[in-house]
Structure 1
């Protein structure tokens, strides 16, 4: 998601969905809490949770620019005190409408 394209109004409003997994020292650092706050601020729906493998996993749905901003946050910034090694993305798709009404932390 490094290069940005010039987008028309229809593309800016287009809903994208993807799954993610964040690796590094991310559990026990309130990553899920800060992730939920950032997604709510950006109007992104979906969920996030701690995995049994010590990573953070979840799903994002929102406009392409907002999802790109969130992916950048998860890849570079994260919660205070975390150390992010990488953020893997999968199952990218375009949706006719957002399926999640809000963003939640799952357990």
Structure 2
């Protein structure tokens, strides 16, 4: 705001920047196509990273890319998942891990 003139100065739109988060998804998320569904959604949103099953029954993923797209997959899409899934919890943590190029499915850990 230009206070001297009492006029609002127009601001350019803010760029959202990039973001990387590691996510753990719990519930009925294995054996329901969650990893393939995650890969399709991440690719649709232009994200890099990976997804894998965990031996504890959860699914873990690393999402990296445009902040708005990362928020979309974590806060909206992963909380619902594919039709056969029943998500009970989604926890996300900031990450500085290198996501690599593209999005891949990794072996169970």
- On whether the aligned pair clears a TM of 0.5, the verdict is yes
Q: Report deviation, 1:46.
A: 0.2
If each structure's strand is expressed as a fraction of its own residues, which one has the higher value? Answer: 1
Aligned equivalent of 2:93: 90
Could you tell me how far apart the structure 2 residues matched to 1:47 and 1:8 are?
30
**So what's the TM-score if we normalise by structure 2?**
0.80
RMSD: 2.0
Structure whose alpha-carbon radius of gyration is higher: 2
Q: Report deviation, 1:100.
A: 2.5
After the TM superposition, list the runs of 4 or more consecutive aligned residues in structure 1 that deviate by more than 4 angstroms.
none
Aligned equivalent of 1:46: 49
Could you tell me how far apart the structure 2 residues matched to 1:99 and 1:29 are?
25
Segments of structure 2 that go 5 or more residues without pairing to the other structure are 1-11
Segments of structure 1 that go 5 or more residues without pairing to the other structure are 1-6
- Name the count of aligned residue pairs: 95
**So what's the TM-score if we normalise by structure 1?**
0.81
Aligned equivalent of 1:37: 40
Question: Greater relative contact order: 1 or 2 (C-alpha under 8 angstroms, separation 6 or more)?
Answer: 1
Q: Secondary structure at the match of 1:21?
A: strand
If each structure's helix is expressed as a fraction of its own residues, which one has the higher value? Answer: 1
